[in-house]
Structure formats: C-alpha cells, structure tokens
Amino acid sequence: MKKEWLARLLVLALVVGFSAAALYARWADRTLEVHAAMPEKGGWLPNTLTARADEPLTLRLISDDVVHGFAIGQSDQQPSVDILPGKPVEITLLFDKPGTYTYYCTRWCGPNHWRMRGTIEVEGDDSSLANDPSGPVAPPLYLMLGIDLDAPHDVQVDVTRQPSARRGAALDTNLPAEMLSREYVRAHSPYEVWQTLRETPAASPLSDADLWDLVARLWERSTTPDALQTGAQLYAQNCATCHGTTGAGDGVFAAALAGETSATPISPGLGHETVAPTDFSDPAHMLGASPALLHGKIIRGGMGTGMPSWGLIFTDEQTWALTDYLWTFTFQFQFKETTP
Amino acid sequence: MMKSSPALLRNAVFLAAALLVAFAPLPLPQTPPAERTFRIDATQFAFAPAVLTVNPGDRVTIELTSLDVVHGLYLDGYDLQISADPGQTATMTFVADRAGSFRFRCAATCGDLHPFMIGKLHVGPNTLLWRSIGLALLAMFAAVMLGMPRLRKA
C-alpha cells in the first residue's frame, strides 16, 4: 500500500511539475511578438510598442504573408533585418534615450509598403535628455528659408545639352566666393544661380550652355562621392520603385500611381489621390528647385501626390545625401556608382 | 526449341529498337553559342515570360524585375538564385552548359500561391521527353505483338 501511494505521489508531482515549469517558462519569456503583414492586410501588429530607456526590448518578428524587413528610423543601432515567412527572427533593441521611435518595413512588400510603420514609445527620466550633447534638433532648412514646398517651381529654360561638371571645371572661371559655399548652393535653385552668373561681368564672355556647366560644377563641389554613393543606395532601395532607376519617373508602380491602370489601384477606397512620380531628368522641373526644397519634399512627403514622408526614417545626413544624388539625373557629375 | 527461335529473334529486335530509341545520338543542329538576355517580369503569382528557350552553350542573362512584392528566381539544375525587390532589378548570368529542361521557381515567399509561381528553361530540345515517348510507344507496340500468339492459341 505504501508503494502505491508513493507511485501516485510521483505521478502527481510529475504532472504538476511539468505544467508549472511550462507556465513559468512562458511567463519568464518577455519576448514580444510582432507580426508583419502587407499594409492592406494590417501592416505591423501591434504597431505601437512601449519600452524603457536602457532596458532591452526583445522582439520576435513574424511575417504573415510576404518578405518584409525591420529597421528603426533615424538610427543605425539596429541594422535592417529581413523577415521571411515561416522564419521568425528575434532581435533585441536597446534605446539609450527616451523618445518616440519609428520602425518601418525595409523590403517592398506592395505598392503601399511605405505605409507600413509603427512607433516605439521609449519612456525614461528626462535627465538623460538634458545632458544630451547633441542638443535640440534644428528645423529643416526649408522651414528656416521659408520655402513653400507646394508652390510650382518649374522654369522655362533652354538647356540644349546636359550640363556637365567636368566641362564646368575645365572653364576655370573665377566664381564669386559666396557661391562656393555649400550653404549658398543648398539655398538656391540652379536657375537662380545661373541668372546671377549671367549678370556677373566675369562670366559675360561665356555662352549660356557654359554657364550651366559652371552651375553643374558648383553643385558637384557641394557634395562628396561618399554622399552620392549613400544617396544612390537609398534611392535604389526607397525611390526607384516609383521614380525609376534612371530618375525618369517610370518605376514599376508609376503607371498605377498615375491612374493609368485600374487593375492595381494603389489605395483602393482610401480616398488618397496619387499622381505620376516626378521625372528627375526633366530640366524644367529640376532647375527651378533648390536643394532645400527637394530636401523638404523628401522629409515632408507630397500631400495628395502619393509621395511618402521620409522625415522619420532618414537621418538628416541621409536626406541630404539623397538630395545630392537627385542632381545626378540632371547634371553630369564625375561620379561612378559602385554596386556593392 | 525450333519454335522459340523466331520468338527470340523478335525479342532481340525489340530490345535493339529500345536501345536505339533510348541512346542513339540525334542529328541535332549545332548552333554557335550566343548571348541571350531575357527580361522576366515577376508578379503575384507568375513569371512573364515563363518559358525560356536557349541553345546549349549559350551565355544567358536573366533580368528579374518585380512589379509588386519581393520575388526571387531559383533555377533548378543550375543551382542559381536571385531575388528582386520592386525597383531593384536583379540579374544573373550563366552559361547554359547542361542540356535539358529545368524548372525555375520563385525563391522568395510572395503570398498564398507562391508555390505555384514556376517557369521553365529549355536548353536545347527536350530529348528526354521525346525518347520517353518513343520508348512508351515501342513498349505498347511490343506488348501487342508479343501478346498476339497467345491470343491466337486461346
């Protein structure tokens, strides 16, 4: 009889012990599951997360349909990870500053891919912010200059040959010193600079086309090969799908954005207007725009055009790199893109 | 013993015919190797074009352009794989040195019907198919011929 009781106790202990262990393991696992689905099917679930500064946040990322990616905007602490269907990935994030962070999908998962974003609220005492050496963030240049992003900026220009920075450099003209600064270039459109040059006595022997070459040279001087390379990469990943690899506004989603194909409406029933993507190789459109204007458009996005806003995704440096790269569609720079 | 001799002969003839169908070298037209480039549009859930035909020895370049979500292309037999995001065309180049017909499939899970997103690469004529058809016809013919005497006896 005693042995039977012992056996019963053993069975009971095993049953309770195993269940308790399983429950404890589940409770102790603080991993948060985040599901990724195409934006039409809900996007990120959940799309708001909370965390505390200096406490690790572990996420298990699961794709419910197609290939997605995960990255944190304006931050390089988490390199982009791919989320393949059927292969959950776990990542651990550690935020050192409280604030609101944006996470976003990094692989084109459909025409509305860019809408797939979520926020992480990182709480913490603000004392760490007060000691932040980087200080408060300055407003973007277009706001400081008071540029209206939605004002039409097309100019009637007669550019018969593509302005070339190489030819501009070969002219070896003494340009006004103020024009040589990066700040000057960023605040002015090529057309404004060209007009100013046209009125400069030193430039009077030069033809109109030569002056455009000088403008191209000024624009090339204001950037670096590294920035252009970064811009090229960002452009390929985020812009080429609509604006096309050659910048001609003929990407794979261009026709749908222009409303030419009803088969694949970009935002069915959402009431969003879309227009054809801008053609960056069109001089009339580009030469009247200042870098600050393009920079602002990238940050804010185009209301009513279908252009996403990238202000929460790119760092200021990345946005400028992208802005610089856009000019390679209008001007000939001595820049060769290297494919990684 | 005397009776079995024509039967043996007949069997030998069928066997010889079968070997001929299976292994005889075909007088295939020899074409000099060429450069071939295909642009394949990938959408959910199809490749366009889905059937590529090249000659053995050709240098084949495949440009994969996705028109909606991330797609890939995995070529069976050659063990090659690329993947393309919309807006980022992916290319692969290889020499079609293995003759035959090979499947290619989407290499990135692209939705519910992803497993059915397939295409075909023909390198030269599909001799395996034609030889199999020939052997099957021969087997049918042989079955009829060899079965006849027994039918008559019965």
Query: What is the full DSSP assignment across A209-265?
Result: HHHHHHHHHHHHHTS-HHHHHHHHHHIIIIIHHHH-TTSSS--TTHHHHTT--SSS-
Indicate the average pLDDT of chain A: 86
Evaluate if residue B141 carries a pLDDT over 80: yes
Q: What is the pLDDT of residues B9-27, one digit of tens each?
A: 888 888 898 898 888 887 7
Q: What residues of chain B, 79 to 118, have a C-beta less than 8 Å from chain A?
A: 85-89, 108-112
Q: What percent of chain B has pLDDT over 70?
A: 94
Homologous superfamily, domain B35-129: Cupredoxins -  blue copper proteins (2.60.40.420)
- Residues A225 and A320 placed together within one structural domain of the fold: yes
- Residues A62 and A146 placed together within one structural domain of the fold: no
**A interface mutation test: which of B44, B63, B85 has the most A CBs within 10 A?**
B85
Evaluate if residue A323 carries a pLDDT over 60: yes
Question: Is position A43 within any domain?
Answer: yes
Which letter does DSSP use for residue A87 in this model? B
CATH of the domain at A317: 1.10.760.10
Phi, psi of A250 (to 5 degrees): -120, 35
Question: Is position A4 within any domain?
Answer: no
Question: Is position A22 within any domain?
Answer: no
Question: What's residue B30's pLDDT?
Answer: 76
Evaluate if residue B62 carries a pLDDT over 90: yes
Task: Report residue B1's pLDDT band, with 50, 70 and 90 as the boundaries.
Answer: very low
Q: Which of helix, strand or coil describes residue A192?
A: helix
- Residues A62 and A113 placed together within one structural domain of the fold: yes
Q: What is the pLDDT of residues A16-25, one digit of tens each?
A: 999 999 999 8
Take residue A76 and report the two structure tokens written for it: 């390089």
Q: How far apart are CA A323 and CA A142, in angstroms?
A: 13
Question: Given CB atoms, is B31 within the 8 Å cutoff of chain A?
Answer: no
Pick the residue from chain A with its C-alpha nearest to B112. A65
Interface contact flag, A241 B87, Cβ < 8 Å: yes
Among A125, A152, A171, residue at a domain's last position: A125
Interface contact flag, A66 B108, Cβ < 8 Å: yes
- Quote the minimal CA–CA distance from B110 to chain A in Å: 5
Question: Is position A16 within any domain?
Answer: no
Q: What is the pLDDT of residues A100-137, one digit of tens each?
A: 999 999 998 888 888 899 999 998 876 655 556 666 67
Question: What's residue A265's pLDDT?
Answer: 55
Range of the domain at A37: 32-125
- Residues A115 and A146 placed together within one structural domain of the fold: no
Indicate the average pLDDT of chain B: 87
Pick the residue from chain A with its C-alpha nearest to B71. A67
- Residues A194 and A287 placed together within one structural domain of the fold: yes
Question: What's residue A136's pLDDT?
Answer: 66
Question: Given CB atoms, is B67 within the 8 Å cutoff of chain A?
Answer: yes
Question: Is position A130 within any domain?
Answer: no
User: What are the DSSP E strand ranges found in chain A?
Assistant: 32-36, 44-45, 48-52, 57-63, 68-72, 81-83, 89-93, 99-104, 117-123
Task: Report residue B72's pLDDT band, with 50, 70 and 90 as the boundaries.
Answer: very high
- Report domain extents, chain B: 35-129
- Residues A148 and A220 placed together within one structural domain of the fold: yes
